[in-house]
Every structure is written in C-alpha cells, then in structure tokens.
C-alpha cells in the first residue's frame, strides 16, 4: 500500500497543543493541485504544507481547507522542523524553499527556527470606519498591505474582547484582517489577532506571514528593528521579529504532535 509521510506540528510554541497547528506532507514527486487541496480539506487545519525535493532545495506550497495561499509562516516553520526532525534534511544546514513568494530560507539556532521572508508593509491607509461594522469597534488606524487589512485598536483589552462579524469579513476582497495594539505585558512589544474567513480560517492561532506586515509597522512606530510579538488567539503563540530592509526575519519554535502516513490508495 503506497503511503506518504505526514506530520502534525504545532508551530510558534515550545509546548504541544498550543501555537498554530499545521500538517506537513513530505512528497517524493509532484502532485496535482486538486489532490493537495483535498488533503488540506481532510486535515482541516489552517494550513497544510506540501514539500518535495528539487534542485537547490525544496518546493513548498501551502493550502487552507479552502484555498492555496501565497505565503504562510507557521506552515513554513513546521515544514522546516519536519525536514530536520525526520532527517530528510541535514540538521546543520539551512533549508531553501522555493515558493509562490519566492525563495524562503530557514535556519536553526538552537531550538529556534528562523525564517527569511519578504516584508509586506502597509501600502496605503484605509478609512477606519470601513472596518467598524465588521469588527464592532472603530480602529484608531487602518491600512492595507499586499495581502491583508491592518487595524490598530486602543488596548489589549479591546483586542482580546473582539468578536468580529465573520460574514462581513468574508465579503472583503482581502486574504484577512490583522488587528493589533501595543502589548500590556512588558515581555512583548505588540500583540495581534488575525481573521481570514475568506480563505476558510475564521481566526488563525498564530500567523507568521501577518508579521511580515506587523514587523515593519511596529518597527517604525517603536523605533526598533528587533521585536517580540504575541498573537492573542485562544491557543496563543510567540513570534520573534527582525526587520531587515525589505525582508523580515521571523523566529519561533515547533513541536511534533503526530508522525504518521497518509494512505494514497496505491
């Protein structure tokens, strides 16, 4: 019976059952897009990553239960963790992923995985009132990045209490909506939540790619290039952020929760 190795990994955490879960499918050969989308729907996690060897690294694609996406941080972290922990990649070498967002490189620094991602800064301001009905509050600032809308709220209490209108968010022509503010806890610089019902994820537990926008935004506001962030979803997760010109270096840990095989029926 043909099978493909499949891992369930919690990313941006050092403890199982927290952070953001991702499935990682380790492929030997290319697979059809429809098949990968079906697997992602079956996994029913915010992202499923599909990795296969290619010249000078690995091909990497990401799927939500409903759609392929152009950039995903936590599933990239999970994919690198899977390759190193299964000895599919040399533990002492960085990993080069070829993706729809270009070349992404992951490295290990002790238990931390660092990821070199493109920055996706705010490209234009938005009318904050456009988000008021969907979020239930009027943001103090709103802007648009390449993928998402970003809304700044007054306090962490307001952010944590948000109960957005998912139908209204789903109707917006963007991947998702990032909501953020300064952190109350002195250990962190800022906190956020991320809502993406339009691609099948009402609230994503920890969104690495959102920090490609959050990093440049808070770096300008706080006057620092190195930041530590907390995503305040029910599961929660910690993201280290370093802004380096038009790149953002994201850092986090990961834990393997399940290591098994997907029956392909062959």
Task: List the catalytic residues.
Answer: 47
Count of CB atoms within 10 A of residue 262's CB?
16
* Four-point Cα dihedral 82, 191, 151, 72, nearest 10: -10
Count of CB atoms within 10 A of residue 129's CB?
10
- The answer to whether 212 and 118 are in contact (CB under 8 A) is yes
172-181 burial: b if 16+ Cβ within 10 Å, else e: bebbbbbbbb
Closest CA to 241 of 227, 223, 224, 220: 227
Closest CA to 237 of 220, 251, 219, 258: 251
Question: How far apart (Å, rounded) are the C-alpha atoms in residues 107 and 92?
Answer: 9
**Helix/strand/coil percentages in the chain, nearest 5:** 20, 40, 35
């Amino acid at each position: 019976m043909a099978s493909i190795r499949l891992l369930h990994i919690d990313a941006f955490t050092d403890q199982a059952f927290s952070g953001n879960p991702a499935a990682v499918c380790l492929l030997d050969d290319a697979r059809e897009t429809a098949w990968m989308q079906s697997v992602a729907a079956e996994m029913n996690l915010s992202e499923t990553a599909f990795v296969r060897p290619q010249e000078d690294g690995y091909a990497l694609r990401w799927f939500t239960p409903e759609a392929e996406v152009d950039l995903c941080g936590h599933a990239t972290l999970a994919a690198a963790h899977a390759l190193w922990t299964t000895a599919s990649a040399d533990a002492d070498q960085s990993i080069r992923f070829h993706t729809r967002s270009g070349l992404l490189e992951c490295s290990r620094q002790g238990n931390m995985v660092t990821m070199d991602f493109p920055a996706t800064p705010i490209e234009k301001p938005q009318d904050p009132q456009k988000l008021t009905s969907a979020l239930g509050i009027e943001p103090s600032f709103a802007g648009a990045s390449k993928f998402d809308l970003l809304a700044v709220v007054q306090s962490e209490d307001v952010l944590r209490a948000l109960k957005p209108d998912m139908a209204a968010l789903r109707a917006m022509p963007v991947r998702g909506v990032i909501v953020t503010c300064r952190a109350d806890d002195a250990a962190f610089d800022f906190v956020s939540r991320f809502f993406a019902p339009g691609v099948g994820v009402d609230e994503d537990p920890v969104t690495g790619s959102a920090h490609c926008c959050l990093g440049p935004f808070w770096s300008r506001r706080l006057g620092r290039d190195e930041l530590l962030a907390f995503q305040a979803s029910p599961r929660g997760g910690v993201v280290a952020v370093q802004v380096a010109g038009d790149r953002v270096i994201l850092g986090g840990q990961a834990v393997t929760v399940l290591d098994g095989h997907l029956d392909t029926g062959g």
